[in-house]
Amino acid sequence: MAPTQGLSDDRGVNPYESPTELAAAWYAANYYYQASWNSAREYGGLIFRRPNGNYSLTIRKGRFDALAWDGIGKDMPSGCRPVAYWHTHLPAEAAKNLSVSEQLTLAISDLFGEYLGSSYEHLSGSDIRAAEKAAEVLGYGFSIYMATATVIKRYTTGRVNQPQVWKKDPPSGMAHMFKGR
């Protein structure tokens, strides 16, 4: 059972603990991407460091193409330190309950966005601004992770050679959808 099931506001804290920030982002990508796809909603949250040195994450659900970062720290347990945002990006083929024109717009965006650096597989300008705003407020470097079924990307404020990219296998329940890609 997913930790957010039964929550009326689609928010919560996942109790799983990872040894590193990247491991927490990887866990989020593998644990939540298929649910994000199936519900046609971005999932995301905050990766935080617990007092014991391990990392956990909060979870919230957004719309198909957006997640609200405002007030996201309220979900984090007290005594923890926020270190990064994480979230999913979905391709047009995952869209449900959208008008034909909205689906067409998304499909065209995915097709041409790859060449323009603005497809669902890229960190958006608003993703980067969210990390930079968090770093400014917190006073230390902050990252944002973006996950698709087969890629994790990380942008960290104040670093060069951005973003960092890791290829990954799709979640086990989605492997058949990505054969040959």
| Mean pLDDT, the chain, integer | 84
Any idea of the CA torsion for 43, 46, 52, 54, to the nearest 10 degrees? 50
Report yes or no on 178 lying in a domain: no
Per-residue pLDDT for 54 more than 90? yes
110 lies in a domain?
Answer: yes
Model confidence, pTM: 0.84
CA gap 91, 1 in Å, rounded: 25
pLDDT digits (tens, 9 = 90+) for 116-144: 455 677 788 889 999 999 999 999 999 99
Residue 60: strand, helix, or coil: strand
pLDDT category at 113 given cuts 50, 70, 90 is low
Q: Which of 2, 22, 34, 45 is nearest to 169 (CA)?
A: 34
At 180 the pLDDT is 60
- Count: domains in the chain: 1
- What are the pLDDT digits (tens) for 94-112? 777 777 777 677 666 666 5
Within a domain: residue 153? yes
Query: What would the two tokens of residue 119 be?
Result: 């497809």
With respect to residue 72, please indicate whether it lies within any of the assigned structural domains. yes
Residue 167's contacts (CB-CB under 8 Å, 6 or more residues apart) are 150, 151
- State how far the Cα of 88 lies from the Cα of 33, in Å rounded to an integer: 7
Inside any domain, residue 164: yes
Least confident of 12-26, 44-58, 121-135, 145-159: 121-135
Q: Are 47 and 19 in contact, with CB atoms under 8 Å apart?
A: no
CA angle, 33 then 39 then 43, to 5°: 45
**Domain limits at 88?**
11-173
CB 59 within 8 A of CB 24: no
The pLDDT, as a whole number, for residue 181 is: 58
**Mean pLDDT of all residues in 151-160:** 94
Is 120 domain-assigned? yes
Domain for residue 84, yes or no? yes
What is the C-alpha separation between 29 and 26, in angstroms, rounded? 5
Q: Is residue 144 part of a domain?
A: yes
Distance CA 43, CA 35 (A): 8
pLDDT average, residue stretch 6-25: 81
Q: Judging by beta carbons within 10 Å of its beta carbon (0-12, 13-18, 19+), is residue 158 exposed, middle or buried? A: exposed
